Amino acid sequence: MNSKIIVDNLNFYYGNMKVLNSIDISFYENSITALIGPSGCGKTSFLRILNRLNDTVSNVKVEGNIVLDGTDIYKDMDPITLRKKVGMVFQKPNPFPMSIYDNVAYGPRVHGIKKKNELNEIVERSLKSAFLWDEVKDRLNKSALSLSGGQQQRLCIARALAVEPEVILMDEPTSALDPIATSKIEDLITTLKENYTVIIVTHSMQQAARISDYTAFFLLGKLVEHEKTKYIFESPRDKRTKDYITGMFG
């Protein structure tokens, strides 16, 4: 079990407000980790720290070390390189207002790929990996906004995959979707771990239990427990974890 990302003694502040407190956690290669916890406990802030999305927010402070494959992502890596390695999928599907093809080709073009046949190959491969190819192969030049919500979210996953990241962050990627679309995305996430390290924020205990290998329970800015998902759900060590997953609070 190789650690892909090691977070060591992370503190995070919005202004004077400390929202993450002494977080130590590792994320393992080819595994899915679910981040769970009540609203406001800092899950989204934590996820955004992992690809430096908070860089643009004023008055924030990050303390501690976050190391990706041996390199500190704040001290020794620029955000562009980081975001190529660490992709993100958001809660609400957010395709760009352009064609399906151009959405997927966007990242590779930004990174300098111009040859049509190379782009065609990346678009097809990414859409296939996102389980969307068969549904859109005959209308690649149609607007991405013409797709259903579930298709749009799979397109956003294809867009993230197109730059060949190593880690994929997902912030409640199914919360805006119906059960059928959710189930498709869950199947897709499960296949992604063959090639990627996946970290997903979810409010659904069932989803965490269904798809993740590891679960991390956050409460009031602290990491209470991080274990194999099976242990978190069958025999949590901490009473607060047990209370949360059994619906006693949160």
Residues that bind ligand ATP (CB under 6 A): 14, 19, 37, 39-45, 57
Task: Report in angstroms how near the CB of residue 34 gets to ligand ATP at its nearest.
Answer: 13
Task: Report in angstroms how near the CB of residue 86 gets to ligand ATP at its nearest.
Answer: 17
Nearer to ligand ATP, 44 or 99 (CB): 44
Nearer to ligand ATP, 49 or 123 (CB): 49
Nearer to ligand ATP, 5 or 49 (CB): 49
Full DSSP string of the chain: --EEEEEEEEEEEETTEEEEEEEEEEEETT-EEEEE-STTSSHHHHHHHHTTGGGGSTTEEEEEEEEETTEETTTS--HHHHHHHEEEE-SS----SSBHHHHHHHHHHHTT---HHHHHHHHHHHHHHTT-HHHHTT-TTSBGGGS-HHHHHHHHHHHHHTT--SEEEEESTTTTS-HHHHHHHHHHHHHHTTTSEEEEE-S-HHHHHHH-SEEEEEETTEEEEEEEHHHHHHS-SSHHHHHHHTTS--
Task: Report in angstroms how near the CB of residue 129 gets to ligand ATP at its nearest.
Answer: 27
Nearer to ligand ATP, 19 or 113 (CB): 19
Task: Report in angstroms how near the CB of residue 19 gets to ligand ATP at its nearest.
Answer: 4
